[in-house]
Amino acid sequence: MKRSHVFRGFAGIFLALLVMFSIVFGVANAWAGKVNELLGTETATITRSLDPDDYFFKSDFASGSELIAAEIAYSTRLAAEGSVALKGEPAISGTRVTLFGMRSGAKMQFGGSMGELIDAGNVVTLGEALTDRGFAVNPEMTQFYKDMEADYSPVKSSGGNVVFDYEEQGSEINEVPASLLDAGKIGDYTDAAIIVLGRDAGESACFYPGAKGMLKPEEFTQSPTGNIFSLSNEECDLVNWVEAQGFGKVVVLLNSGTLYGGRGAEARRWR
């Protein structure tokens, strides 16, 4: 009988130690990097060969700085070739320009995946880029749109690429109504008006066709297609208002992360 109690005691202690060990092992395994850092140990080491012949995939660049410079040049070319002028011509006579649209100051990028891992120091607004290229950008209108961000901040696409229905997948454009624009803020920045219209989407965020893709269907009562990729009422009014202000050139620029991809891709096109 005494032996039975002893065995049960040992079994209880063993079971308790086993549970504790399992918990400690799980935590230590999950935080292996921190544990190694605290203990000054390494679980694996990598030895980099200095012999170029040991590498199957070889870089086209002699240094990291050359690679970064090439990436910047490539991204600049993509942006230039991807810009589409819907009204007027790209060439502008003069350098004094005014930017319009809530997305004229937004730093839009590919959304919803590892594509967002971008050094913020390498991301600039359209106004900053134009200034760097020698243009004088209307500061009053730039500040106007900054002040409007609290109430009219651009709303990103919603949901994911794969959904079973479109319920609660709607998005809104949230453009500033033309009735709030003040012609007095234009000043002499009239060589060109650049209107920025945008739709941002990504690997895990999409715009969906039809009424269910609109969070506020009242934004599109003037739309001939009833699609969120057509112009909203406010965007139409914005273009018409700007055209009436007597600018030397009016350019409409699309700032869109993606146009296609995922479920319903054929319907998610600019109309």
Cα distances (Å, whole numbers) of residue 60 to 64, 77, 87: 11, 19, 40
**Could you tell me the pTM of the whole model?**
0.63
Compute the distance between CA of residue 208 and CA of residue 170 in angstroms, rounded to an integer. 7
Cβ atoms of 239 and 257 closer than 8 Å: no
What's the rounded mean pLDDT across residues 23-48?
A: 75
Beta pairing partners, 205: 202
Considering the chain, what percentage of its residues have pLDDT values greater than 70?
74
Q: What is the pLDDT of residue 147?
A: 93
pLDDT, tens digit (0-9, with 9 covering 90-100), for 148-189:
988 987 776 765 555 555 566 678 888 999 999 999 999 999
Distance between CA atoms of residues 139 and 199, nearest Å = 24
Task: Please state, in angstroms and rounded to a whole number, the distance separating the CA atoms of residues 73 and 71.
Answer: 5
pLDDT at 271 over 50: no
Model pLDDT, residue 212: 75
pLDDT tens column, 44-62: 677 788 887 888 888 888 8
Both structure tokens of 30: 């999950």
Beta strands in the chain (DSSP E): 96-100, 136-137, 192-199, 250-256
- Asked if residue 244 has pLDDT above 70, the reply is yes
Of the pLDDT bands very low, low, confident and very high (cuts 50, 70, 90), residue 101 is: very high
Question: Helix 32-39 crosses helix 2-30 at what angle (to 10 degrees)?
Answer: 90
Torsion sign across C-alpha atoms 222, 223, 227, 228? negative
- Around 258, how many Cα atoms within 13 Å sit in the side-chain half-sphere? 21
Give per-residue pLDDT as tens, 191-243. 999 999 888 776 667 777 777 778 888 898 988 888 888 889 999 999 999 99
What is the mean predicted confidence (pLDDT) over 64-71? 90
62-71, 166-175, 259-268, range with the lowest pLDDT: 259-268
